[in-house]
Structure 1
Amino acid sequence: MARTGARRPSERAAEEAAARRVAAERRLRNRRIITGLVIAAVLIGAIVFFATRPPPPALANVQTFPDLGQAHLVANEPAPEYNSNPPTSGPHSPTPAPCGIYRSPVSDIVQGHDLEHGVVIVQYDPAIGDEQRDQLEEFGRDAPSHVIVAPREGMDSMIAVTAWTKLMTMDTVDLAAIEGFYGQFAQAGPEAGVQCPFSVDDGA
């Protein structure tokens, strides 16, 4: 006669399967806890980093001009009177210039459309000489996008860097300042987001 109290094989198998399920659930729960703790640590670290890092250095010689609007000029319509030299906003051509390096001036009405798209335009008096011009052109090639470098006569300074409503001037190349200006104002125009990859290189 079978002994009372003895467990059948099927009962033992069911108990073992239940134990495995409990162990698997415990491991899954532990993994989720660890993952949550790691994510929380990363988020806390990011918050601390951004809360405690020093602000970017203030840019010198940056002027802000009133926004003259974004109207498109019709064919043969004369250029408006801009409130800065080079212009920093205002009515402009319906067609922007491709981004890149130019060895001839970019017209004011065309510049306005590029600025609207968040392009930073670096213009220099040709009298700065080849060495400084080459430095500016190299900056333009190294920038990821949204940069035009071109000559311009008749400015109050030897070099002018513009973005929408912003103008920074200098008389000798200061790449740190130009890079800071680019980092702060590139793709900050009213129609930022329009692509402008490097596609022209007259200085190559």
Structure 2
Amino acid sequence: MRALRTVLAVLIAGVLICGAIVLPLLARSDDKAAGRMGSANGQVGPVDTKDLAAVQKFEVPSIQHTPETVDYPQSPPVGGNHDGAWLECGVYDEQVREENAVHALEHGTVWITYDSSLSDSDVAKLAELLPDEGILSPNEGQSAPAIITVWGTQLRLTGAGDIRIQLFLDAYGQGETAPEPMASCHGGVQRLESEDGSAA
């Protein structure tokens, strides 16, 4: 009887120890998954910002020039058919015409967009981080405070202080994903999006 009690005590202790080790690991894994899912779906929630695991990559099936307005599946778009003129590099305080910005992406440009809820000081921080071959512009109603985009590749950011901005620039900021990586956004047009959706 004493031996049976000893065996049961050892088994119970083993179960408790395993639970104490395994349950926190499972919870941490769930938190990371929730953070990534929240980021991918544009919902506010915990986001793991230690690496680029949340970067999204998209297939871009067509890259034809068109004078027409394009209905892009992402906001901001990551590529696709676009205007024959590319958008000039720089910082914009109004929403830009997507079709021209996408042409700049084709040239290897980095495009950082931000929601209007972002403070002026945070917008200034983003402008400081913007590379020479870069565009910064507001994008009303987007699914994150800031989003950084290169051709076919995008990352939703927690804000201007997100350390992944520099990680993303180091990994993708040289135009590696673009069809024309040696081109430039310099020499482009400065085209804004007017209220009726046409080029201003």
Compute the TM-score of the two structures, normalised by the length of structure 2: 0.63
Q: 1:191 is matched with which residue?
A: 180
Does structure 2 retain, via aligned residues, the 8 Å contact 1:101–1:137?
yes
Measure how far apart 1:66 and its partner are: 1.6
- Structure 1 runs (4+) greater than 3 angstroms displaced: 196-200
Measure how far apart 1:197 and its partner are: 4.8
Measure how far apart 1:193 and its partner are: 0.2
Amino acid at match of 2:62: G
Aligned to 2:159, which of 149, 152, 172? 172
Amino acid at match of 2:159: T
1:134 aligns with 2:124: yes
Which moves more between the two structures, 186-195 or 166-175?
A: 166-175
Amino acid at match of 2:180: E
Does structure 2 retain, via aligned residues, the 8 Å contact 1:98–1:199?
yes
Aligned to 2:147, which of 136, 160, 172? 160
- The CA distance in 1 between the partners of 2:88 and 2:167, in whole Å, is 22
Task: From the superposition, tell whether residues 69 and 58 of structure 1 become closer, same or farther in structure 2 (CA, over 3 Å).
Answer: farther
Q: 1:104 is matched with which residue?
A: 94
Task: From the superposition, tell whether residues 117 and 138 of structure 1 become closer, same or farther in structure 2 (CA, over 3 Å).
Answer: same
| RMSD between superposed Cα atoms in Å | 2.2
Deviation readout 1:103-136 (Å, 9 max, x if unpaired): 1111111111011000010000121111111100
Greater Rg over alpha carbons, structure: 1
Q: How many residues align?
A: 138
In the alignment, structure 1 segments of 5+ residues that lack a partner are: 1-56
Task: From the superposition, tell whether residues 118 and 150 of structure 1 become closer, same or farther in structure 2 (CA, over 3 Å).
Answer: same
Higher helix share: 1
In the alignment, structure 2 segments of 5+ residues that lack a partner are: 1-49, 190-200
